[in-house]
Every structure is written in structure tokens, then in C-alpha cells.
Chain A
């Protein structure tokens, strides 16, 4: 890095980095706006306006505010088993009722956006795939689409359809993971075993195609890393045969089960307007009955050529979010069936020598191919100057990739809009006036992946 006369981290910057605690403070020392925010209000007002209505909110509340010395602030996580990794929640409780919530994140922060600036565009997918580790192909896809948009390269049809096949499979495996952990969080431990079992089948397919169960680095700028292996169609058909009957078993095990329904119905309620204000996307937004799915509403890849439904709920509670994910698996299989019929022949990556390394066989016989291979893997390829934002619909919501290029072979800035990061902001709202035991169900229904939250 060039040294400049800008403040170094140790001198002038230090003066204005003393910004105070991240933890949830006592109600007496918290500002009115922040207090309302932590109680779950979706605020569009100034501090003065908040202070003016804070009193009235307390009066009209179902659970009137209790004296500060009668509430308790407790800490949940970061090592709590139901926090899906290292999410830490601080909650103010009145007895068993949650009054205020604040999520404290950053325990998995490894500076992946910085790492993205240090790696070339060719190496980029290796980095971004580790963000959302339950749905790694989506981050790779968003990154690759952004780079392709910057270069202005057209990807072959087969690569596009392979990408759709793989990401839909990934949606299935991610939602199966949700079903497993959601069941476990609510005490349905057998569901956890079933969910992992089915997910493992999908991961075995991934391993066959990409070489890895997770963190595939399979979708790359210009296409995909390798063509589908021989026999892939049989593997997909086998998955299409074995998993849907098991989804019906889940229905018997969970959906119609009164204890399970009582744990979820009416818990963690949120409305569409609140979701939009908070920027919440994905199954959370759709659970309110608001049909917004980027695959249909802002089609990327070739989703406009497919026929599928957007699954919506009606009450915006945890049960709707469970049901949406379960039925999105079915819808994904519906999409995969159409992809099987329509999978075109052709190249799996673009044959533009600027971005594509030569085939392995050519390297042994051609000096130019060897040089070409060496140059692409050491220097990378240059991407024209510009900035671009590309969104895709990940299992958790809108996953966007914002890339600024300065014309070199590394991104100048690589930012990922992680859906879990934004969706977590709905937690205080969904938990307010709920029971502590329901907090676990609410966290689970958001399905946050902390690797993507903290990046």
C-alpha cells in the first residue's frame, strides 16, 4: 500500500474511534429512539419525536414498561447452540417476556471484503464462496454475474443452465439444512437427523460435480469450472425420486403436528410494511404474503424461460416461514425437472481467451497454451473500469454483489449485500413481547448464516 499523509490508524483516526459500547445498555441510559428500536419499533423519526412518543408507547403497550430495576438484561450466545453459529443476543426480560433485543455480531468477521480486493477476479469465487457456507453457489453466482457484467461477456447457454441447476440444488440443500436446524431448535431432534440425511444426498451430488461438498468454487466468471460429469442426469433423477416422498414424511412428522404448530403459529409476527422498511427480503418478506422473488421479478440467468410459482405465506409468523421453505424445496424440484428437459448442449464456459484458461490437454503440447495458462493464473485478467451491482435470489433473500473496478486484475472494492445481515435487523421486532422460549424459534426462522452476516 502506498503511504500517504492521510491519518494512520494510530494517530488522528484513533481520536474519533472511541464510539462506546456495542452491548445493550440499561433502559435509563439509552436514547429514546434507540430504546424504541430495540423494542422492535420500525422508526422513521428524529430523536425528539421518539422521546415524545416513547411515553405514550409505554402507556398503550400490552405489557406496560416495568420499572428498570425489575427487568433483567441477559446474554444469549455467542456459543449458544440455537444461535446458528456465533450470533450473540442481549435481551432485556421482564420475567419471561422479552422487552428489548439487540444482536451483537462480528464474531466471524474475517475481513472477506478486504480479501476480495487482494485476490484477482479468477481467485475471487474461492473467497466469496465461504461467506454463506450453506448456500455457497449463490455468492459465487452473484460475484461471477457482476464480473461478467463489468467485462460485458456473454456466457454460453449451457453454462447458464448448469448454473441454474446447481443453484436450485443448492437452494434445496440450504432449505433442508433449515428444516433440520429448525426442528432441532424446537426439540424435534429426529427432524435434524432426517434433514441432514437428505442434505447429504444433495451434497454428494455436488461433490461429484464440483469435487467438493461445500465451498465449491464452481461458478466462475465466464461459466462454470467443469462440465457436468457423465451420469449426472441419473443422479439428479434419483434425487428427484427419493427426496419428494421424504418431504411428505416431514409433513406428517412436523406440519400437521399440534405441538410443532403451537410452537410456531403466531410467533415472531412481522408485516410486509415493516419488512420493506427494514429491507428484509427472502422467505421473511414472502411469509407476509408479499410476493417478491427476484427469480420472477428481476429475472437473471434464464429464469424467465421457466414456469414456477412464488411461494407466499399469509400471517408472517414462524410457521409461514417454515412452510414457505418446505414448499420452496418442492418448487425447486419442479424447476429442476424443467432444467433437465431443457439443458442445452454446448460449451460450459465462454471461449474468450482473455478470461478462460486453455484446456489442460493443450498445455502439454503447446508452448503458447502454457504461457497463456501461466499468465492467467499469475496475473489474472484485467476488467474494464466501472462499478456494478448484481442481485440474485439466495435462499435467504436478495444477495447482491457490488464491484468497483479500476481497470486492474483485482477488484478495487468488492462488497456483498448479505441477506442474513439485513434480515437480522428484524429480530428485535419479531421478539418484542414474545417469550424467551420463542426467541429460539424466531432466530431459527430467520435462518441466519453467520459467515455471511459478519463476512
Chain B
């Protein structure tokens, strides 16, 4: 790991050194002892590629968070908070370490490049993020809904998706027998 151990062991405080700590050119923070990289959307694929080359061969998990009602979360310097955050967990078997990527995705342009070209295993996870959050992954071979019905309207895990206030969408019975 390029970040010195003990920078921030517990807690989410930013590194104390002057200027943000960088790895592959993007800011780094520590979250409960776990290294977190904060690339912007332009660096999303290059950073993932660089980490893959470094030995992080497995994308264990990819998910998203809608920070609509919690915009003031701690982020390192140089990262502008946006409404959506796509989170990927990478794992290196050789160094037995994990690294997390958090990328900010604005609400008015919820598009991100796909990682399927590097990690084919995020295929289903990206579809799930699209389905539940409405973040589109550019270049994904099959950007369709995965858990909701294909004619569903809206993205249920968004914080402004009103639960319990809209009628549940069911297809009606067949018009006539």
C-alpha cells in the first residue's frame, strides 16, 4: 500500500499531511482502517485499470449510495460531493488487501463508464445499480433492469422514491377471457 500505515487507523479523519494523499493521482482517505480512493468520473476507468494491473484482480462488489438527504459527508480535499456515489470494492489475492473506490456521480447526468471491460464480474452489479438507482453505465453490453420488472417506472432505492405513498404497480388482470 502506498499510503503509510497509521495515517488514520480508526475513524474517518483525513490524513494529517499537507495536501491530500494521492494514489494513482486521486485523493485517498481511510475509512475504519480501509483505504478508499476517490477518483472523479474521468479517472474511474483509468484508476480501476491501474489497480487491476497492480494485482487487484477481483471486483468483489459494486453498489451505489444516494446521498440526497445526507450531502455533508466527509470527503477528502478536491472531491466535490454529488448526489450519487458508486462504490466498488476491489480485492487483491496476492497482497491480501482490499481497496474501495468511491466516485461521485451528479444527479442531472447520472452516467458512468462501465467497468465490465476490466472486471466482467460487475455485470450484474452494474445492472442492479442502474435498476435501483438509475445510474447508467456507458458501454455496458446489456443495460437492463435486473431485479425489478422490466416495465417498472422509477428507481426504488433513490431517497426521493416515496415508499408507501404510490400505489404498488401490478399489471391488471387480462381484459377478457
Tell me if chain B binds chain A: yes
> Distance (Å) between the CB of B76 and the closest chain A CB?
14
Contacts of A400 in B (CB 8 A): 60-61, 89
CA distance A388 to B33 in the complex (A): 9
Q: Is the Cβ of B150 less than 8 Å from the Cβ of A280? A: no
Contacts of B124 in A (CB 8 A): 421-422, 424-425
CA distance A276 to B94 in the complex (A): 12
Question: A149-B32, A385-B74 given as contacts; is B134 within 8 A of A16 (CB)?
Answer: yes
Report B68-82 CB contacts with A as 1/0, cut-off 8 Å: 111001100000000
Contacts of A281 in B (CB 8 A): 60
Contact with B166, one of A9, A22, A118, A455 (Cβ below 8 angstroms): A9
B123 beta carbon closer than 8 Å to chain A: yes
Contact with A2, one of B69, B119, B158 (Cβ below 8 angstroms): B69
Q: Is the interface of B mostly helix, strand, loop or mixed?
A: loop
Contacts of A387 in B (CB 8 A): 31, 65, 87
Q: Is the Cβ of A21 less than 8 Å from the Cβ of B69? A: no
Report A359-398 CB contacts with B as 1/0, cut-off 8 Å: 0000000000000000000000000011111010000001
CA distance A106 to B145 in the complex (A): 9
CA distance A109 to B154 in the complex (A): 15
The 3 closest A-B pairs by CB, nearest first: A9-B154, A279-B121, A106-B147
Contacts of A149 in B (CB 8 A): 32
Report A396-440 CB contacts with B as 1/0, cut-off 8 Å: 001010101010000011010100011011000000000000000
Q: Is the Cβ of B123 less than 8 Å from the Cβ of A425? A: yes
CA distance A404 to B64 in the complex (A): 11
Chain A interface extent, by class: 35 or more
CA distance A1 to B66 in the complex (A): 13
Contacts of B159 in A (CB 8 A): 1
Contact with A388, one of B31, B96, B122, B125 (Cβ below 8 angstroms): B31
Q: Is the Cβ of B32 less than 8 Å from the Cβ of A454? A: no
A301 beta carbon closer than 8 Å to chain B: no
7 pairs from A and B in contact (CB 8 Å cutoff):
A9-B161, A43-B141, A279-B60, A386-B32, A402-B63, A417-B89, A421-B124
| Interface residues in B148-166 (C-beta closer than 8 Å to A) | 148-150, 152-163, 166
Contacts of A304 in B (CB 8 A): none
Size of interface on B: residues with Cβ below 8 Å to A: 66
| Interface residues in A1-37 (C-beta closer than 8 Å to B) | 1-4, 6, 8-10, 13-14, 16-17, 19-22, 31, 33-34, 37
Question: A37-B141, A46-B139, A276-B58 given as contacts; is B153 within 8 A of A10 (CB)?
Answer: yes
Known: A2-B160, A9-B161, A44-B117. 5 other contacts (CB 8 A): A6-B160, A22-B146, A105-B146, A109-B147, A277-B119
Contacts of A276 in B (CB 8 A): 57-58, 93
User: Interface on A for B, CB 8 Å cutoff?
Assistant: 1-4, 6, 8-10, 13-14, 16-17, 19-22, 31, 33-34, 37, 42-47, 105-106, 109, 111, 113-114, 118, 149-150, 152, 276-281, 292, 297-298, 385-389, 391, 398, 400, 402, 404, 406, 412-413, 415, 417, 421-422, 424-425, 454-455
B51 beta carbon closer than 8 Å to chain A: no
Q: Is the Cβ of B58 less than 8 Å from the Cβ of A279? A: yes
> Distance (Å) between the CB of B127 and the closest chain A CB?
9
CA distance A279 to B61 in the complex (A): 8
| CB closest chain-B residue, reference A38 | B142
CA distance A284 to B159 in the complex (A): 36
Contacts of B117 in A (CB 8 A): 43-46
Question: A3-B160, A17-B134 given as contacts; is B32 within 8 A of A388 (CB)?
Answer: yes
| CB closest chain-B residue, reference A2 | B69
B40 beta carbon closer than 8 Å to chain A: no
CA distance A412 to B63 in the complex (A): 14
CA distance A389 to B62 in the complex (A): 11
Contacts of A33 in B (CB 8 A): 141
B50 beta carbon closer than 8 Å to chain A: no
Q: Is the Cβ of B134 less than 8 Å from the Cβ of A47? A: no
B107 beta carbon closer than 8 Å to chain A: yes
| CB closest chain-A residue, reference B166 | A9
| CB closest chain-B residue, reference A10 | B153
Contacts of B152 in A (CB 8 A): 17
| CB closest chain-B residue, reference A23 | B150
Q: Is the Cβ of B120 less than 8 Å from the Cβ of A297? A: no
